[in-house]
Structure 1
Amino acid sequence: MDLSSNQQPEFDYLFKLLLIGDSGVGKSSLLLSFTSDTFEDLSPTIGVDFKVKIVTIGGKKLKLAIWDTDVMLRCDALGMASCRVYDVTRRETFTNLSDIWAKEVDLYSTNQDCIKMLVGNKIDKESERVVTKKEGIDFAREYGCLFLECSAKTRVNVKQCFEELVLKILDTPSLLAGSTGVKRNIFKQKPQPDASTSSCC
């Protein structure tokens, strides 16, 4: 359907999401699994990767702009939620959550309402698991995060990860301010230094 012909918005909201985690935890594979419904065992991302997906969730047509990175980017350049991924088969990627991620949240967050999610990836390798689901749940409770385990390879819970993030954003009025728009070109927009509605955690 050509929405431009009747002057309808191309989407109801633009949501900017940050996917972050240690190298090799499967962020790029997770993003590819969500945006393309395919799986590839990808090489670690150098710098930043970026994908866009249009979805309909909660009765709203949403444009999701998702950054994939192993470094924390400036909050005013990104958006409303961060998804920190760890590998359930590598203890150090989980240990780094409290050593690194929690400090990054305090350092970079400019909006206390931004959504945080903790994702344990590679549950298809159950025989190699070293981080229990209970550990993930306990960490998420301590730091006020959503939590889910998934497998980018088998696509178990991949869609649910992003749906839960989006539904939480939709339920947070302060994050919706300024996220609507018609014919917005997110690639040409320059981040505003004092943008109070753009933050990441």
Structure 2
Amino acid sequence: MKIGLTGGIGSGKSEVARRLAAKGALVIDADLIAREVVEPGTPGLAEITATFGEAVLRPDGSLDREALGRIVFTDPGRLKALNAIVHPKVGARVAELQDAAPADAIVVYDVPLLAENDLAPMYDKVIVVDAEDTTRLTRLTTIRGMTPEDAEARIAAQATREARLAIADIVIDNNGPLSALDPQIAELWHELTDVAP
């Protein structure tokens, strides 16, 4: 079974993915793969440097994600250019992992831009981790240390809550404390394993 998991930045999607992995799901994390394909020495990093310049590199030659973020999250054209470099490489790596998964696995694809890229039809079910924009903004500034301006730009660069909720088969409400996720994940896992082949 192929499950698409998404949620806006600061929604707690990664926490839900961790909890599903602990239950036995095979989680394929697009963000993690996106980091792998731009590590030093990769063609991905070379293309990014050629497109955005040396200013997006740290002194050790690794990608300065914050510097790149300041460029692309305020300019839709530059974001599109970055996605054109990274997305095909992520797609190829995801396909490799998918091919290696057991036939009876519940595979959860942790895809931040699932709604933005109209990927819902690729999955048997789409799970959206939902939190209000004000909650997400607070998490980004207090937990991740972003400035309010950077946090607002990141939120604005993604799909709206309404767009994500419109593609959801299942919604996980993560406006409260992390402990509130436990019963929701237990119920979700029961539902997934009950219908899995």
TM-score calculated relative to the size of structure 2: 0.30
Query: Higher helix share goes to which structure?
Result: 2
Structure that is richer in strand per residue: 1
